[in-house]
Copies of this chain bind each other. A is one copy, B any other.
Amino acid sequence: MSEKIVVGVDIGGTSIKVGICNIEGALLQTYEGPTEVEKGSDIVCENIAAYARLIVDQSPYEWDQVEGVGIGIAGFLDIPRGYVHKSVNLFFENVPLKDILEAKLNKKVLVNNDANVAALGEAWAGAGRGISDCVCYTLGTGVGGGVIISGKIVEGFRGMAGELGHMTIVPDLEAIQCNCGNKGCLETVSSATGIIRMANDAVERGDRTSLSFVENITAKDVIDAAKAGDEAAARIVNRAAFYLGKSMAAVAVVLNPQRFIIGGGVSKAGEFLFEQIREVFRKTAPDMAQEGVEIVPAILGNDAGVVGAAGLIIRS
């Protein structure tokens, strides 16, 4: 077989996931092995290289067919150089990841941050397939984002494009402090953390809510309660949706993307959440910037990372 393939690597704190994609973005095979962060960055890099070779060895493909290896990693990066200034969960500091792995693998290696890479995965081979411009939100512990224009990741001057969770969106009077140091960031209301905080506040305030009887409230608890008709919970979910819709309206006048793609744990709330987001977007964005624009769920789930990492090789 002379078909070209690309390898994607999604480095997490506990495990490294590698995958093989064809050049159309179909995920053909995956493998997952321990990261071993505690052994230091040299071993983590060894592991990445080993798993990348292993998955190809175990596949019907030859190493020669590998067009390149893409890597997604959380942290503060110099993207063009593939240099990791700092990655807290990997204990990486000043690691020239691209150079190290190009030497080990003898292939072109490209590195980008995990949120950008997940967005590229969805854009290339997920909910954005066939679309040139889309913007992705990942609603997890924080709110991550990625911007894809003409099929490629927009990185920005210092790699900070797509930091949608840190759009100042909550008016000052109601704004609370974000981990980033600013107030009123989208992440303070539309992340799982934000939803949990608002729920705990409601319980503490003594609002009448079924959540009062829940220990260690999760975002899913809040969403389930809202779906079951709990008014306090519904207000919280609505607030998360409201500011998401508002932020999408702001993005719409900057970029007029064809599609907004929402993934991450909170997005599992499904149409219940999406309908509320769409309603705010429809009311807020100018007509022309919303005509034909769709707000849809991500479809690749946890595979978005490996697929998008592989996509770096095709879409750069």
User: Which of A's residues lie within 8 Å of B, judged by CB?
Assistant: 76, 133, 135, 147, 149-150, 152, 154-164, 166-168, 171, 180-182, 246, 249-258, 284, 286-289, 291-293
Contact = CB atoms under 8 A, between A and B. Distances in A.
B253 A166 contact: yes
B156 A256 contact: yes
Given A161-B255, A293-B157, A250 B168 contact: yes
B292 A160 contact: no
A163 B250 contact: no
A225 to B, nearest CB: 28
Contacts of A152: 150
A53 B181 CA distance: 58
17 contacts: A133-B157, A150-B152, A156-B256, A157-B256, A158-B289, A160-B252, A160-B256, A161-B255, A163-B253, A166-B289, A168-B246, A168-B249, A168-B284, A181-B287, A182-B284, A251-B254, A255-B255
Contact of A167 (B135, B160, B250, B256): B250
Contacts of A257: 156-157
Given A182-B286, A288-B158, A164 B251 contact: no
Given A181-B287, A284-B168, A284-B182, A161 B254 contact: yes
State the majority secondary structure of interface residues on A: loop
Given A156-B257, A156-B289, A157-B257, 17 more contacts: A133-B156, A133-B157, A154-B255, A157-B258, A159-B256, A160-B253, A160-B288, A163-B288, A164-B254, A166-B286, A167-B253, A167-B254, A180-B287, A181-B287, A182-B286, A250-B254, A255-B255
Contacts of A135: 254
Given A166-B286, A284-B168, A289-B163, A156 B250 contact: no
Contacts of A156: 133, 255-257, 289
A48 B258 CA distance: 33
A81 to B, nearest CB: 16
Q: Please give me the 10 A-B residue pairs with the lowest Cβ-Cβ distance, nearest first.
A: A156-B256, A160-B256, A157-B258, A160-B289, A161-B256, A163-B253, A166-B286, A160-B288, A167-B253, A171-B171
